[in-house]
Amino acid sequence: MKKMSKQLRSNLITYGIVVAAYIIVTFCMQAGMVSSLLKGLLVPLCVYVILAISLNLTVGILGELSLGHAGFMCAGAFSSALFSKITADVIQPAGLRFFLALLIGTVVAAIFGLLIGIPVLRLKGDYLAIVTLAFGEIIKNVVNVVFLGRDSAGFHMSTKDSISLGLEPGGQVLIKGPQGITGTPNDSTFLIGIILILVTLFIVINLINSRTGRAIMAIRDNRIAAESVGIDITKYKLLAFSVSAALAGTAGVLYAHNLSTLIALPKNFGYNMSIMILVFVVLGGIGNIRGSIIAAVVLTLLPEMLRALNDYRMLIYAVVLIATMIFTSSQGGQEIQERMKAFFKRRSKAEEGK
Amino acid sequence: MKKALSLLLAGSMVLSLAACGGSKDTTTTTDSSSASSDAAGSDTFKIGGTGPITGGAAIYGNAVKNGIQIAVDEINAAGGINGYQIDYNFQDDEHDAEKAVNAYNNLKDWGMQVLIGTTTSAPCIAVVEKTHEDNMFQITPSGTAVECVQYDNAYRMCFSDPTQGTESAKYIGENGMAQKVAVIYDSSDVYSTGIYEAFAEEAANQPFEIVSVEAFTADNKTDFSVQVQKSKDAGADLLFMPFYYTEASLVLAECNKQGYEPTFFGCDGMDGILGVENFDTALAEGLTFLAPFVAKSEDEQVQSFVSKYEEAYGETPNQFAADAYDCVYVVKAAIEAAGATPDMSVSDLCDAMKAAMADVSYSGITGKDITWGEDGEPNKAPLVVKVVDGEYTEL
């Protein structure tokens, strides 16, 4: 009984942090205390938080290393941006259109997750990591060769160039291969981002604490034992993997509707991004949802806050990363952490004693 | 214990957010090398620039950064704009749309009134959306994509990709340089694709025929034997190469190996081919390309810029630096024509400058008597450059 309430309290604190962050930022914005830089960063922060939470489901709860998370984000981003661009004048109001775009991005990413998960999840450990890395790159590269246009005769597709689409005069090129999609309506707002974070948290936390979640964690801890008690390994693995992919797709939708240009580069949808999300998860603590949120926020803000240092900022960012990793994983660092924990324990005990 | 720990973490998150909230007043002029740091707030025009100064495209961003710096120093030394000094701040955008918006917002916090940027096309499309919202005057030195200047507050210094493709096709056609043309282009590059598409479109109106089109991507740009072979088999007497000089040097070497000797025609990315290491410059003999700027030009303004740049940064400036340099002078011309002062709001300043831009006619190092239309595109004649005796020569 005591344990349950502790877990509930911990979850409530996680929700509370997100809501509190929203209230504080909104309050500061009303008071005019928020710089333009931070205002511009609010939606990306939500994107990275959702990505970190969703990857934590694969890495922390399912226990499989996935390096293709940005690929799912890419699938969600491009499918939804395409939808929004096509229907920009048709579906009004913008809120409804964005809601549909969110659904489409999420579902497309989930389908990709499912399709990729079926062959990939037969692999384990390093092999899985390598194959997911490859799939992430494939999604990005496929997006880069697709040309899609629309005229009165319908849709035209090509993998060569936009001339070979053979559009009638007045036809519109929707996806321009390596030049991506431009002119996506800017529908993402901080409020929507926060709501999506809460929804993501709700899905992930409830999944973890459900019967399904316990089955998934059993597979992580001991596959053979889990199989022997009759847990359907493929089903649960696939479930966790596609939920994780779907949530990454949601983040992709948010990302795509925050900027008016969407191009698949190694930086935003390639392995660089996948690794960055993984860094959020590892630094925040594998399996620790609240840690992922905080790591994503801090690591996204850090390079921007260091802009005043000009050329040195990326250097310092790297040094901070290395230092944090050493602090959290080395023996010496852990000893310091233990001592800090013991200190807080003593204090809280002393308070309870009073 | 968990409670204490979570409180600590929650606190740290709130703190980190609060810290950025407060960062508004702590932003400082980061570029200490710009003169006139003693001038106070509203007594100076605050000009910002963005571009990639880290990562793969850093060479372009650095050139723009240095080009602006030279122009700003010159103007400040000569008494500023309308008697007001310029404050200059350049931010890194890592050639990423999201980071470019961050850089723009950062500059806004600093108090930027005019934006010279961004350097590359994709980030520029994202940023122009924001400058349009804020109604801030923007002039991009080298954002070539059409959408970069889709709003009336945005202007361009360089040629757009389609203009370059169209001009190249016209030049080839009008001068009767070829009957059969082969094209090799980089399909993974926005710049190269943009030029090629406009070139192909205009070619339909010209007295030559495109007989072969071969593409390569950024992942396989070291071996061009297949593309050259196909161009040769198609019997093309002119090879159009809309990409950068590093790849062009390899194509030229491959043509030489296969004994294929068409006329070579390039785009402004060819500027620099004679400086490629271990490249036999004799191979580039006769290579013709359109360029906005030639460092070897005998023009007085160009020579003064090139010598200043070489002295300050130890390298020959490329077209990016030249475009950026001209941008600052265009901003100066627009502000002077509008009779604007630094205490005007960003939006008022933009409106005044927009009105003035219609009458601005500017002669600089990337063209003479340049004017701008309502669409923000520059009207200037491209220089035609030919490699003769191992030197760039203006035709």
SS3 assignment, position B314: coil
Percentage of residues in chain A having pLDDT higher than 90: 47
Residue of B nearest to A37 (CA): B105
Tell me which chain B residues have a C-beta less than 8 angstroms from the C-beta of A24.
14, 17-18
CB pairs under 8 A between A and B: 169
Dihedral angle at the C-alpha atoms of A240, A245, A251, A257, nearest 10 degrees? -150
The predicted structure's pLDDT at residue A144: 84
Contact A161 B188 (CB under 8 A): no
Q: Where exactly does CATH 3.40.50.2300 map onto chain B?
A: 28-159+301-381, 162-291
The predicted structure's pLDDT at residue B1: 44
Q: pTM for the whole thing? A: 0.82
Judged by average pLDDT, the poorest of A1-10, A268-277, B207-216, B352-361 is A1-10
At B138, list the tokens: 């923007």
Helix (H) or strand (E) holding B291: strand B288-291
The set of residues, in sequence order, having a beta carbon less than 8 Å from that of A294 and lying 6+ positions away, is: A284, B9, B12, B13
The predicted structure's pLDDT at residue A348: 75
Contact B18 A24 (CB under 8 A): yes
**Among the residues of chain B, which ranges form H helices?**
2-21, 23-26, 58-77, 97-110, 121-134, 161-174, 190-203, 225-233, 245-257, 300-313, 319-338, 346-357
Tell me which chain A residues have a C-beta less than 8 angstroms from the C-beta of B5.
341, 344
Each residue's pLDDT tens digit, B93-105 = 888 888 999 999 9
Each residue's pLDDT tens digit, A72-86 = 999 999 999 999 998
Contact A41 B102 (CB under 8 A): yes
Q: Which residue in the block uniquely carries the two structure tokens 């620099």?
A: B272
CATH number of B162-291: 3.40.50.2300
- What is the C-alpha to C-alpha distance for residues B57 and B119, in angstroms, rounded to an integer? 10
* pLDDT mean over A100-116: 94
Q: Check residues B244 and A20 and name the one with the higher pLDDT.
A: A20
CATH topology of domain B28-159+301-381: Rossmann fold (3.40.50)
Mean pLDDT of chain B: 84
* pLDDT mean over B277-303: 85
* pLDDT mean over B365-371: 89
Each residue's pLDDT tens digit, A23-33 = 999 999 988 88
Q: Which residue in the block uniquely carries the two structure tokens 């709001």?
A: B345
Contact B188 A178 (CB under 8 A): yes
The predicted structure's pLDDT at residue B23: 37
CB nearest to A35's CB, from B8, B103, B109: B109
* pLDDT mean over B287-295: 85
The predicted structure's pLDDT at residue A109: 95
How distant is the Cα of B32 from the closest Cα of chain A, in angstroms? 11
Each residue's pLDDT tens digit, A287-314 = 899 999 999 999 999 888 888 776 787 7
At B28, list the tokens: 């400082």
Each residue's pLDDT tens digit, A141-193 = 888 888 888 888 888 888 777 777 777 777 788 888 777 888 888 889 999 99
- What is the C-alpha to C-alpha distance for residues A136 and A122, in angstroms, rounded to an integer? 17
The predicted structure's pLDDT at residue B35: 36
Tell me which chain B residues have a C-beta less than 8 angstroms from the C-beta of A291.
9
Residue A330 predicted with pLDDT over 60: yes
Query: Per-residue confidence at B25, pLDDT binned at 50, 70, 90?
Result: very low
Domain A2-353 falls under CATH 1.10.3470: yes
Assess whether the previous peptide bond of A200 is cis (omega < 30° from 0).
no
Name the packing angle between helices A233-256 and A36-56 (round to 10°): 170
The predicted structure's pLDDT at residue B15: 46
Query: Per-residue confidence at A4, pLDDT binned at 50, 70, 90?
Result: low
Contact A344 B4 (CB under 8 A): yes
Judged by average pLDDT, the poorest of A324-328, B41-45, B63-67 is B41-45
Do β-strands A172-176 and A147-151 pair in parallel, antiparallel, or remain unpaired?
antiparallel
Query: Per-residue confidence at A18, pLDDT binned at 50, 70, 90?
Result: very high
The predicted structure's pLDDT at residue A1: 47
How distant is the Cα of B317 from the closest Cα of chain A, in angstroms? 21
Contact B196 A35 (CB under 8 A): no
Query: Per-residue confidence at B243, pLDDT binned at 50, 70, 90?
Result: confident
The predicted structure's pLDDT at residue A352: 64
- End-to-end CA separation in angstroms for chain B: 79
* pLDDT mean over B294-304: 85
Q: Where are the beta strands (DSSP E) in chain A?
A: 147-151, 154-158, 172-176, 181-182, 261-262
* pLDDT mean over B241-267: 89
Tell me which chain A residues have a C-beta less than 8 angstroms from the C-beta of B31.
310
Q: Check residues A344 and A235 and name the one with the higher pLDDT.
A: A235
- Per DSSP, B42 falls in state G
The predicted structure's pLDDT at residue B187: 79
The predicted structure's pLDDT at residue B18: 42
- What is the C-alpha to C-alpha distance for residues B142 and A199, in angstroms, rounded to an integer? 42
SS3 assignment, position A159: coil
* pLDDT mean over B173-184: 90
Tell me which chain A residues have a C-beta less than 8 angstroms from the C-beta of B108.
36-37
- What is the C-alpha to C-alpha distance for residues B223 and A301, in angstroms, rounded to an integer? 42
Domain ranges of chain A: 2-353
Residue of B nearest to A147 (CA): B187
- Per DSSP, B44 falls in state E
* pLDDT mean over B357-383: 88
Query: Per-residue confidence at B117, pLDDT binned at 50, 70, 90?
Result: confident
Query: Per-residue confidence at A51, pLDDT binned at 50, 70, 90?
Result: very high
Q: Which of B149, B172, B163, B160 is nearest to B264 (CA)?
A: B172
* pLDDT mean over B100-113: 92
Residue A341 predicted with pLDDT over 70: yes
